[in-house]
Structure 1
Amino acid sequence: MVNLASSTGASGPAPAGNLKEMIRQFTPNWFGATMGTGVLALALNQFPIEIPILHDIGRILWLFNIALFTLFAAMYAARWIFFFDEAKRIFHHPVVSMFFGTIPMGLATIINGFLAFGVPLWGATAISIAHALWWIDVAMAVACGLLIPFLMFTRQDHSLEKMTAVWLLPIVAAEVAAASGALLVPSLPPGEAYDVHIISYVLWAYSVPLAMSILVILLLRLILYKLPTRDMAASGWLALGPIGTGSLGLLLLGTNAPTIYAASGLPGVGEVGFGIGVIGGAILWGYGAWWLMLAMLKTVRYLNEGMPFNIGWWAFTFPLGVYSLATLALARITHFWFFSAVGGALIVLLAVFWTIVMARTLHGAWRGHLFFAPCLVSGVAPIEPRTKL
């Protein structure tokens, strides 16, 4: 265990109860908790077996997620206000900077929650809020998808051997926004719905092909250099994220396509869009199945070796969650029982993962060990502080 640091000394995990040091050590990694919590809320609301209490649990989780996101946003804003010189070091860090993408993705789960849980409570007001937040989310996602790779090209030190799936995080944010846009479209007036629908397709293309190319490089890295260190064990699940979200986005956009394009005088385009959604979504789902099983095998290997807990464990949740939602979307469209069964099983696994990771996170946050900014440590490998499982 590294020594605890004062607010002016060398950096280590924040001492328990030291709010000033917690803010100083706060990084975007924490928004992974909002991603995981939000996607569980949405998944429980779509569980293939109708259990009314799951909707209530999902709504509670969504409200809790809003509180979490607000708290994290306030803490990160405070870091930039009070520790500006240290906060800007993140732009040079090859790992922590990737987590900027978790901010728009965490917001996207809240936007989707306004549609799933907010509309029954507040009606059209919830739709208006979701629509306004979606444009903010799009702006952040587009910025992350371009500016973080540009920093990788110009300021940061990267190598194939050190590569992990965290490279995907800033890229995937745009396709998450695309899926959110597809969910928003049915609630909007025709003109606005058409605009959001087209922009969502563009966002999907802005992200998915680039993410797929990164997966190819990641596969080569795994072959040449084997598994990453145990500290980055949970990152193996991140590969499932762009595949699951890509499949979900195509399915949702394809479902909207016939209505949207028919209203614009292009009914044939709508039918093609629906077909591409079903076929493309199923193809991506099959590709994701390989990465899912690989992630399970890698996790068993890491657990046998002794897998240390860190805030990166939230990678167990969101990728699995979006893949579960894609599975359920396929079940609704194809009426194939297999997808319903698999989707239900994946949601149960997601709930188990979320419970374990949230319990460990709350404990680590209370003790202060999880508040650690690697970008403040010179000459230290970009990993999280470790506690034995």
Structure 2
Amino acid sequence: MNWRPLTYKQHPAEVIRHFTPNWFTMTMGTGILLLMIHAFPYPFPGQDMTARVLWWIDSAFYGLFTLLFSARLVLETDSVRNLLEHPVQSMFLGAIPMGLVPIINGGLLFGMPVWLAQDLWWLDAALAAGCGWLVPYLMFTRQQHSLEGMTAVWLLPIVASEVTASSGGYLAPHLPLAAARTVIALSYALWAFSVPLALGIVAVVFLRLVLHKLPDRAMAASSWLVLGPLGTGALALLVLGEAAGPVFAGTPLAAAASFARPFGVIAGAMLWAYGAWWWAMAWLFTLRYIRRGLPFNMGWWGFTFPLGVYTAATLVLAQQSAMVALKVYGALLVVQLVGFWGVVAARTLHGMWHGYLFNAPCLATEQPEPHNA
């Protein structure tokens, strides 16, 4: 019997076996949406409540997905090797720490105990750094890749560290000084751990597009992924620069910390402008794909989180530079994000209900195991 996609009528054990880390991109997209709704620069009725409800929904889905993925690791250990050696599915391991960050940041807004947010941040930092080492090592030693076959999905395990770094800038002001200094110092290290390597991958993405043109329609959403490292890289510099001054005041690093804010604005603005080029290009790619027809898959969540972190960088840059045009542009980006999220969430819930999205490509060569009803 040949492998086939799952349906909702199949045994729950098959759902566990076919549960892949790309489901965490759903929590990434929903999480960044709730944060941008909360940060929307033009207040509207129900703004805080909408963000709060989405935070609870996002947290519930993250908990569910963690249980399902943990069950796969424990109960389906034979399938883990397939996942780690798959040249695309393994990249989505980076979505696990990235999906946790909006829950931490939202928790700081909605009353999560600071000690819990701090513990989750340290867990997230460990997961992000682990993905940043493990997946590239597997790429170098076990997986098969080619320039023609590569896409911006390569960025996912790398960008996780800078996403955690940006969260450190939001967490630090809530901590005692000693803990805040450690978090900010580590956040800068995580930024350096990620952004330079991500920019190198972006250069390779550009070369691949020149030589081999656009990826297959199934990877259409990957056009937006480049906004991720550029948006988050800028956001991290902006929020860390703002937090560093008060935290390091009166220490030997006070002079460097006082420079961190203007440096964050200057360097963040340059990364943001680079992102503006890719934002326009991603729209051109997407319109071209739409004319050819877009098959839905979980990769569509790539339309949301990269756009969301670029939107966050836009709004913070607008705040720190007091530029009204950036504030308006950021608001328009939030509207775009809401539109993208609405379409992708509706298609995802339909696929979850009918079961056809529980489909692990890394197991495509296997025969399904029989289960009793």
- Coarse TM-score class (shorter-chain normalised): over 0.9
Q: Does 1:71 align with 2:71?
A: no
1-structure distance, mates of 2:159, 2:344:
22
SS of alignment partner, residue 218 of structure 1: helix
Return the letter of the residue paired with 1:251: L
> Which position in structure 2 is the counterpart of 1:16?
8
Q: Does 1:255 align with 2:242?
A: yes
Shift of 1:266: 3.4
Q: Is the 8 Å Cα contact of residues 13 and 25 (structure 1) preserved in structure 2?
A: no
> Which position in structure 1 is the counterpart of 2:371?
none
TM-score, reference length from structure 1: 0.92
> Which position in structure 2 is the counterpart of 1:311?
298
Q: Is the 8 Å Cα contact of residues 250 and 281 (structure 1) preserved in structure 2?
A: yes
> Which position in structure 2 is the counterpart of 1:157?
144
2-structure distance, mates of 1:235, 1:38:
19
**Identity of matched residues, %:** 52
Shift of 1:52: 4.4
> Which position in structure 1 is the counterpart of 2:328?
341
From 311, 331, 340, give the equivalent of 1:353: 340
Q: Does 1:323 align with 2:316?
A: no
Q: Does 1:175 align with 2:167?
A: no
Return the letter of the residue paired with 1:43: M
Q: What are structure 2's unaligned runs of at least 5 residues?
A: 367-373
1:19-78, CA deviations, whole angstroms, 9 ceiling, x for partnerless residues?
Answer: 222111110010000000000010000001022411110110010001000111111111
SS of alignment partner, residue 198 of structure 1: helix
Which stretch of the first structure deviates more once superposed, 189-198 or 10-19? 10-19
> Which position in structure 2 is the counterpart of 1:123?
none
2-structure distance, mates of 1:10, 1:187:
54
> Which position in structure 2 is the counterpart of 1:57?
50
Count of residue pairs the alignment pairs up: 365
Alignment of 1:141-152 (within 5 A): 141-152=128-139
Shift of 1:10: 3.9
Shift of 1:200: 0.4
Return the letter of the residue paired with 2:338: A
1:267-320, CA deviations, whole angstroms, 9 ceiling, x for partnerless residues?
Answer: 321221111100011000000001111111100000000011001000000000
Return the letter of the residue paired with 1:373: A
> Which position in structure 2 is the counterpart of 1:384?
none
From 346, 350, 364, give the equivalent of 1:377: 364
Return the letter of the residue paired with 1:94: P
Question: Which runs of structure 1 show a deviation greater than 3 angstroms over 4 or more consecutive aligned residues?
Answer: none
2-structure distance, mates of 1:10, 1:33:
29
Q: What are structure 1's unaligned runs of at least 5 residues?
A: 1-8, 120-125, 380-389
2-structure distance, mates of 1:158, 1:261:
44
Shift of 1:365: 1.0
> Which position in structure 1 is the counterpart of 2:31?
38
Q: Is the 8 Å Cα contact of residues 42 and 116 (structure 1) preserved in structure 2?
A: no
SS of alignment partner, residue 184 of structure 2: helix
